[in-house]
């Protein structure tokens, strides 16, 4: 409702927001043998141009998700939304969401109205998340000036993976995660185009960046990657060349991805010869448990 009121009724070139309810979510989970879902607000986030409205909306959705988690503690975890690019508001919401609501982590858009996670202005936010050993899950959104590059296609098709790649590469090249080593970061959709460009980014860093630029290949290997989207048959081989199977996580992107597509994609992942049975089982279960602290027992 807030998005529509602010003129975002067709988010990222999509016809509209999909339906979501607790009952629909539990039904989808049961039909697909999903024990725990991690709820979060994805693109376009909660900031539509007004800081005060964004702070109110972030607080509203975070308290709503905390209420769902409290009612179904064995079925739902949640990631808090932040009213970025409002830094002061984001810091206040980190404190409330993680210290009071006990959110499992936060979701960051790959850019917040043009502010990327690696921007120096984001340093206080990264400091606060690092101090709390926070789980941070990225989610792509439309890049600045998307009108000039999307060519009229829905931005999730191409612009989302490219903005994911842009955000992560910039964050790593600027040393954002090496300065904040306690942040546990998950990159969505198999890392976007990172696997295809990893060697190129690493090579440019060695040739053109400062001498103390952290090893990009090592940083990429240490991140986590969810497999929402279409990782097989072509993306997963490159992703496995960049990181280990223990850093792969199952994801659905429901309700933006229809349930029928999720079922088909999941079947494809389970059938891939690139992962053995134990690796597939771990990807869908135990790999993610340490990131969701309260499910670690």
Q: What is the largest CA-CA distance in the chain?
A: 53
pLDDT digits (tens, 9 = 90+) for 214-253: 789 999 999 999 999 999 999 999 999 999 999 999 999 9
Q: What are phi and psi of 94, to 5 degrees?
A: -60, -45
Predicted pLDDT at 297 = 36
Strand order in the sheet with 105-109: 37-39, 76-80, 105-109, 135-139, 184-187, 224-226, 248-249
pLDDT digits (tens, 9 = 90+) for 37-92: 999 999 999 999 999 999 999 999 999 999 999 999 999 999 999 999 999 999 99
* Number of C-beta neighbours around residue 239 at 10 A: 22
Comparing C-alpha atoms, which of 42, 22, 38 is closest to residue 295? 38
Residue 18 — pLDDT band, cuts 50, 70, 90? very high
């Amino acid at each position: 409702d807030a998005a529509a009121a602010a003129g975002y009724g067709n988010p990222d070139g999509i016809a509209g927001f999909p339906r979501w309810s607790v009952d629909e979510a539990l039904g989808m989970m049961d039909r697909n043998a999903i024990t725990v879902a991690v709820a979060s607000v994805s693109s376009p986030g909660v900031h539509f141009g007004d800081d005060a409205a964004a702070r109110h909306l972030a607080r509203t959705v975070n308290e709503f998700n905390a209420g769902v988690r409290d009612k179904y503690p064995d079925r739902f975890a949640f990631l808090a939304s932040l009213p970025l690019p409002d830094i002061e508001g984001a810091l206040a919401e980190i404190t409330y969401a993680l210290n009071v609501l006990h959110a499992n982590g936060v979701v960051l858009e790959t850019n917040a109205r043009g502010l990327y996670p690696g921007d120096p202005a984001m340093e206080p936010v990264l400091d606060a998340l690092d101090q709390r050993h926070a789980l941070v899950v990225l989610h792509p959104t439309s890049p600045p000036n998307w009108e000039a590059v999307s060519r009229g296609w829905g931005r999730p098709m191409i612009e989302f993976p490219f903005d994911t790649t842009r955000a992560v590469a910039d964050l790593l090249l600027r040393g954002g995660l090496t300065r904040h080593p306690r942040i546990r970061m998950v990159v969505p959709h198999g890392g976007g185009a990172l696997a295809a460009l990893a060697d190129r980014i690493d090579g440019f860093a060695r040739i053109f960046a400062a001498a103390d630029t952290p090893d990009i290949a090592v940083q990429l290997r240490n991140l986590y990657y969810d497999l929402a989207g279409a990782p097989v048959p072509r993306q997963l081989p490159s992703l496995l060349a960049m990181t280990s199977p223990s850093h792969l996580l199952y994801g659905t992107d429901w309700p933006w991805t229809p349930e029928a597509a999720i079922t088909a994609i999941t079947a494809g992942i389970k059938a891939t010869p690139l992962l053995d049975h134990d690796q597939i089982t771990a990807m869908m279960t135990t790999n993610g448990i340490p990131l969701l602290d309260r499910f670690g027992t």
